[in-house]
Amino acid sequence: MHAKVLCLLSSFLAICHGLPLNLLYDTDVEGIRYLQKTNDVSSNEITLKVPVVFYGVKYDTIFVNDNGLVSFQLDLPQFINMEFPLDYPIIAPFYSNVDITEAGTISFYETQNEQQLQRATENIRESFLSSYDFEATSIFVVTWSSDESGLPDARAQVGLLSGQEESFILPGSGTEQVKNLERWTNIELNGQFLYRVDGKKVQEPDGYTYASSAEQHNTCSSTPTACHSHARCHDYEEGFCCQCKEGFYGNGKYCVKDDAPIRVAGKVNGKLNGEILESLDLQAYVVLNDGRAYTAISKIPKSISDDAKTLQILGGFIGYLFAKPVRGALNGFQLTGGHCNHSSIITYPHTNQVVKINQEYEGLDVYDQLRVNIHIDGSIPTIPAGAKVDIDEYSEQYTHTAEGVLQMSSERFYVVTIENSTPVTYSFKLEQSVRFDYCPYKNNTVGESWTLKVGRHFINYEDREQIVRFGQTNKVTPIGEYDPCEEGRSKCGPNSSCVVEDKTYECLCNPGYQRIYSGTEEYCADINECQTGLHTCDYNAQCVNVEGSYRCECNPGFEGNGEQCLPAKSCENVTCSENAECVANNDIAACKCLPGFTGNGFSCSPFTNQGCNVNNNCSPYGICSVDAATNRYQCTCMPGFDGDGYNCFQTTSTVSPVPTEPYHNETEEVIDDCRTLSNCDYNAQCEFSDDLQGYVCICNEGYEGDGYHCYELTQSCTTADNCDPHATCTYDEHLGRSRCICNTKYAGDGYNCTLIATCTSQQDCAPTEECAFSNGRYECVCKTGFVRDSLNVCVLNIPTCGGGTCVENAECVYDENYGTHYCACLPGFIGDGIIECKEKPIGCDTLNNCGYRATCQYDEDSMVYVCRCNPGFFGDGYTCFAERNCHVDPSMCDANAQCYSDAERNYICQCNSGYVGNGTVCKMIAKSEGNFLLVNQGMATLRLPIDQNSRQVGRPIQIRPYQTAVGLDIDCLEGRVFWSDVSGKAIRSSFYNGSSKEDFIANSIGSAEGLAVDYVSRNIYWTDSMSDTIEVANLDSRRRRKLFSTDLVNPRGIAVHPQRGKIFWSDWNRLHPKIEWANADGTDRRIFFEGPDVSLPNSLAIDFDTEQLCYTDAGTKKIECIQIDSKQKLTIAVNCTYPFGIAITHNHIYWSDWISKKVERVEKNTLNRLPPLRIPVGGSGNKIFGLVSVPENCRQLANLCQYSRCPEEHICLPDGKGSRSCVCSRSIDDNKEPNCTI
């Protein structure tokens, strides 16, 4: 056996001492190479002398990366702040954010030195018994030395990743225990690990008896790494306990820093009020120093959005975990360390509705976020739409009823307030239980109770984002001197515990039990978690109910702890049914039916087409004999058994001695059914059948099958009246069955249909609307005296004006062009009518106070007459001086500019070719790499090569945790990319390679969903769907201006044409979707395109080769392009699932798709659809957003703002007429009011 040895030696963590030098392979050798001393660096592609076979794939080259890993296929210089596994083939000794700019070295070399090869050969032969003939032929050594950089982003991760499904993660990886790898080993040398990657699996050494990680013993010395690194271990007579050190708190195994903020993240699933909840996102933020907790749950179905406001328990338990402890009381995290199961039952007495909620907390992840999975099942009261829900301050008591068990019972109240109605108060009963691992040896708190005090509630639902938000302040205190349970414990019955409730007590059923009422009696009976679905068993496991709990057992052919079951690798752990045998092949052990039987190995039925004398397939308790009636060999059951001879069941609980195998000579219990075989389907239970008089597998409710294979019932609408009232049951040839389809003028899945904008009669419209012909079709428009507000509802035009409120000295007027009301200042006042109307100053046309060489002119921005110096002079209009120009003073121009005169004999400075600027300041046009795409996905911006291959698969250029990057565009002159972060409410920027990251705008931004950069004028435009505005800012002066703030409902995509001086934007208004355009200075606003071909327009892009505006439409599911001059439309692609972003190059049109989660593309000239581009790892979430193409060079476009200068506090905007406008603006940094008039 000959092979290559890949040796990766590291200290695992910057803060560890690492390995002794004498245990490392030599680093002072000829030909050794070093990585450049900088941050985020990789080696060039290294050709190996001997190829490496890794997870069955042969690699001839390798990359060494500074962040603690080597990679195949591509270099990975940038740290990707994600949890393993990644989608790349890598070997990671300590993957973390490493910076060797100031300290540390990374060296690498390949050697075939005989001494080195002999050492490797001996190591492997000693470690793997089956490799006695192994001979090393080449060694590749990488050494990370003296790294003191720290770990700012995440704990180090350690593992072997194939880039596909296979991965192997070392113990402690991604946790604070990773530093203990220097104390652990799998080859009897602390800090060293050796693995063999054979095909698709990773093998541990079998030549040692040494454990790969510390075993659990009963003393601190025998388990040195059992406690958190910021905890102390204390020995007791029965065992040991962990206790967090000063400055930290938790349960000792898990500790967090005092007063450091904590984030919680997870998913919510289940069913509530008939609505399926599938992977709803939960995010929470806890401020520990005052116990304030904020929780948000997104993607709440709108039908239950208001109802969900009463489920404050979803944020309430997070508040209890991190409640501020007072006077020695313990909060939930101090008891559980964030590893616990929380169950709650909420009963609403006024509606007799019940909901059950299970929250499984999994501890802190690699980013110190607490992970949780929540399951909801039940129904809750209906809350009127738009009603306000409040919960007053309350106190409740948590009692430590048993080791590892907390319980609580309380009555809470919520207040529902409907506008113009009296608030109504309702109550609900809440029972909670918490299970967790508990160390009983010290400070045993079983029997103690604590009071949780909760106040300052905040409950809100955001319709646009479908988010329910909860907020509350929490603190936990001792209950006081009197404990009601001192009396109550003696009065609680079996399987129940006493819990404190206010100043009295209540007997609650223990976890795993439920209260049963029988006549006048009540008692606590066992819950069958297996039948109710309240278990955590793996899909490939059987749930077995036991008294007060349950256990999970992996199905035959699988092995694990029942909560996680993997295919068995050997027959040692596989138990097959009586008519099957275990067969191991390719590291997979499975049950296979014996000859004479057919089935899947779990359930084997006998062949009956031949006699049992041939098939030999009778039951062990059956006999093969000739049936006199048929004269054929047939199986019959032995005495004491019933059945068909192939399957025999005992008739009594005992079996009399029978002198025939397989019986014993003494009476014994015989159980050979699904109770012991555990061969039922995941969606089935092992239950007693009266018909068969035995235990058999029976499919759960909602499923059908034989019990061994169960399938979800799909009830056709032909047999069940389950369509929406506005839908019809129609046969679908593709599905082969009938399904519900929404009627004309309605949209939805057929089970829930909603009215769309068009109408045919007055019945289709709301009471305040009327069906009228508008925009080329009949639509529901507001009746006279009503206006459509920001929520698209027609409301009385009093006291609002177009949905807004006019300020003092303003009046509501009607705009006939746009068909809407707006606020306008009264004569004698100036302003926008909504924010301010200030007194109009007296102009120079009245005062006649202009200076010599000045003229009184009307100013459109301020709407008054002002004094302006004549051409050739400059000043404030009252004092004018002879103009200083570059013809008189050439020093006014930059060294890389020339002085020219325009048609009006004005002298201007113009930058030379290869430079850009206003002539006074010129910058060299940046030379940046190009010919690739950038796309936003969640927290990252990803780079995609246009021509993807095995060497070019893309990578992230920037990753920022907790952001949601949506809008995207580039400044090709500076080589920078700009993206909008709708979560962080900011516009951010970096170079194309991700370096020099900065916040361009971080205040007064709502939800900037679209960006467009005019690199010629040095301006960036954006849409804001939260404030419903379109704004612009200058990239150089960092000043901003709001262009539009009226008649915008859901502005999203935006594009700019620098040479035409035009901007285009899409409005996602479901009642009137459209694409608008205007001059780049905000003048001459018009509708560019509307009608049936515009439904849900998303992003826009301009094809400068054809002078077309192209857009993605998630409603029509098309990609369309419109000729800017003729408005002629061209369909680029159809049957797109959910297109969002769009980008255009010389040869292709690309778009991002939310559903396919890929970047799709077509050839621009032929419109042939091409294979989609793969999205690299690095982003977060399922949706991909903005998309932009990066060229090698900027297009040669021009406008007047490229050469013109504007006064201080003004920015230059093209006016769409070949000229420009200087408009007053605010600073983006402080947003102070300028001296000029906006």
For the stretch 670-713, pLDDT in tens is 445 676 656 677 677 887 776 666 777 888 776 666 777 676 66
Question: Looking at residue 584, what is its pLDDT?
Answer: 77
Higher pLDDT, 653 or 200: 200
Residue type, 254: Y
Q: Does the structure show a pLDDT above 80 at 614?
A: no
**pLDDT, average across residues 1135-1143:** 92
pLDDT of 407-428, one tens digit each?
999 999 999 999 888 999 999 9
SS3 helix, strand, coil % of the chain, rounded to 5?
5, 45, 50
Q: Does the structure show a pLDDT above 80 at 304?
A: yes
Q: Does the structure show a pLDDT above 70 at 288?
A: yes
Question: Looking at residue 792, what is its pLDDT?
Answer: 58
- Strand partners of residue 1034: 1019
In the chain, the percentage of residues whose pLDDT exceeds 90 is 29
Residue whose C-alpha is closest to residue 1017's, from 1195, 1191, 893, 1199: 1199
- DSSP letters along 87-105, please? SSEEEEEEES--B-SSS-E
CATH code reported for the domain at 530-566: 2.10.25.10
Least confident of 241-250, 858-867, 945-954, 997-1006: 945-954
Q: Does the structure show a pLDDT above 90 at 988?
A: yes
Q: Does the structure show a pLDDT above 70 at 1196?
A: yes
Higher pLDDT, 640 or 714: 640
Report field, pTM of the whole predicted structure over 0.95? no
Higher pLDDT, 719 or 1046: 1046
Considering the segment(s) 844-882 as one domain, its CATH architecture is Ribbon (2.10)
Q: Name, of 272-276, 533-537, 571-575, the range with top average pLDDT.
A: 272-276
Question: Looking at residue 152, what is its pLDDT?
Answer: 39
**pLDDT, average across residues 738-753:** 69
Q: What DSSP designation does 179 have?
A: G
Same CATH topology for 247-480 and 530-566: the answer is no
Cα distances (angstroms) measured from residue 349 to each of 346, 392, 426, 738: 10, 19, 9, 41
**pLDDT, average across residues 1175-1181:** 68
For 1083, counting Cβ atoms within 10 Å of its Cβ (0-12 exposed, 13-18 middle, 19+ buried), the class is middle
SS (H, E, C) 577-643: CCCEEEEEECCEEEEEECCCEEECCCCEEECCCCCHHHHCCCCCCEEEEEECCCCEEEEEECCCEEE
The alpha carbon of 295 is separated from its chain's Cα centroid by a whole number of angstroms, namely: 15
pLDDT of 15-25, one tens digit each?
334 456 666 78
Q: Does the structure show a pLDDT above 60 at 1186?
A: yes
890-924 topology per CATH:
Laminin (2.10.25)
Q: Which residues contact 261 (CB under 8 A, 6 or more apart)?
A: 285, 286, 287, 288
Q: Does the structure show a pLDDT above 90 at 798?
A: no
**pLDDT, average across residues 1018-1034:** 94
Question: Looking at residue 11, what is its pLDDT?
Answer: 34
Higher pLDDT, 1181 or 44: 44
Cα–Cα distance for residue pair 120/141, rounded to 1 Å? 11
pLDDT band per the 50, 70, 90 thresholds, residue 754: low
Q: What DSSP designation does 1179 have?
A: B
**pLDDT, average across residues 912-937:** 79
Cα distances (angstroms) measured from residue 940 to each of 89, 170, 943: 21, 27, 10
Question: Looking at residue 15, what is its pLDDT?
Answer: 31
Q: Does the structure show a pLDDT above 60 at 7?
A: no
pLDDT of 942-955, one tens digit each?
999 887 664 566 78
Break the chain into its structural domains and give their ranges: 2-203, 247-480, 530-566, 844-882, 890-924, 932-1214
Q: Which residues contact 878 (CB under 8 A, 6 or more apart)?
A: 849, 850, 851, 854, 867
Q: Which CATH class is domain 247-480?
A: mainly beta
Question: Looking at residue 791, what is its pLDDT?
Answer: 46
SS3 334: helix
Are 813 and 824 in contact, with CB atoms under 8 Å apart? Answer: yes
pLDDT band per the 50, 70, 90 thresholds, residue 215: very low
Q: Does the structure show a pLDDT above 50 at 1192?
A: yes
Cα–Cα distance for residue pair 745/974, rounded to 1 Å? 49
Task: Residues 932-1214: name the CATH superfamily.
Answer: TolB, C-terminal domain (2.120.10.30)
Question: Looking at residue 8, what is its pLDDT?
Answer: 44
